[in-house]
Amino acid sequence: METVLPDFDAAYWQGRYAAGRDGWDAREVTPPLRAYFDQMNTAEQPRILIPGAGRAYEAEYLHQLGFKEVFVADLAPEPLAALASRVPSFPAQHLSQVDFFKLPNDPPYDLIVEQTFFCALNPALRPAYVQQCAALLRPGGTLMGLLFDTDFGPVQEPPFGGTKEEYREYFAPYFEFRHFETATNSLRPRQGRELFICLKKK
Ligand SMILES: C[S@@+](CC[C@H](N)C(=O)[O-])C[C@H]1O[C@@H](n2cnc3c(N)ncnc32)[C@H](O)[C@@H]1O
């Protein structure tokens, strides 16, 4: 019989933050994302979206580098408040408590940053995640980040794992693969268990 998962809604995520059940939180920008951000050019001021951003250390880092068009979206209020309190100069109007699947695509984004958001979604939503990323990006826009290439077993709540082969099928209709390989500079507990992806919207 197929297992029906509950809704992982705003109350679920807020509850996990409130209970300190936030083992995904790296407390800093992770090395693969930091290395990518370090080679980006602030002169271009790309429009960047970080969905399911949590406490959004990536947004903080990009803001410190001088990127001004960084937008953070999350269902739960706690992590957004945490970013606002840590980084008072981050523009409040760039923080949205919103469902990723309801974000408008006008104007489109140049870059979407993925960090433990895909694995937080009910796996049934994976095709919709990929379609929404494609809808939110301009043609030639980039989806970059990390995906767990790990089996977490028959779990009933996030994180949900998967394989490179499975993921490739979701992305192939919408994206060209620039990079889709095991990350070489992961945080130690994630070493060998995550893919660094850099995909260009067709
Ligand atoms: C596993 S956490 C990862 C947070 C952050 N990316 C990190 O690495 O610390 C998943 C995050 O996605 C958010 N989230 C879950 N479903 C969402 C949705 N449909 N739209 C926006 N955010 C969502 C949760 O509130 C949570 O903050």
Residue ranges per domain, the chain?
A: 54-98, 110-202
CA–CA distances in Å: residue 85 to residues 78, 92, 185: 11, 10, 29
| SS3 label, residue 176 | strand
Q: Which pLDDT value is given to residue 2?
A: 57
Instruction: Write out residues in the chain with pLDDT < 50, as ranges.
Output: none
Pick the CATH number of 110-202 from 3.40.50.620, 3.40.50.150, 3.30.1540.10, 3.40.50.1370: 3.40.50.150
Q: Shortest CA distance to 162 belongs to which of 170, 152, 177?
A: 152
Q: Is the CB of 24 under 6 A from ligand 1?
A: yes
For residue 30, the ligand 1 atom closest to its alpha carbon is: 8
Residue nearest to atom 14 of ligand 1 (CA): 52
Contact 67, 45 (CB under 8 A): yes
Residue 138 CA, chain-centre distance (Å), reads 17
> pLDDT, tens digit, for every residue of 24-71?
999 999 999 999 999 999 999 999 999 999 999 999 999 999 999 999
Q: Which pLDDT value is given to residue 4?
A: 80
Q: How far is the CA of 117 from the centre of ligand 1 (A)?
A: 5
Q: How far is the CA of 154 from the centre of ligand 1 (A)?
A: 21
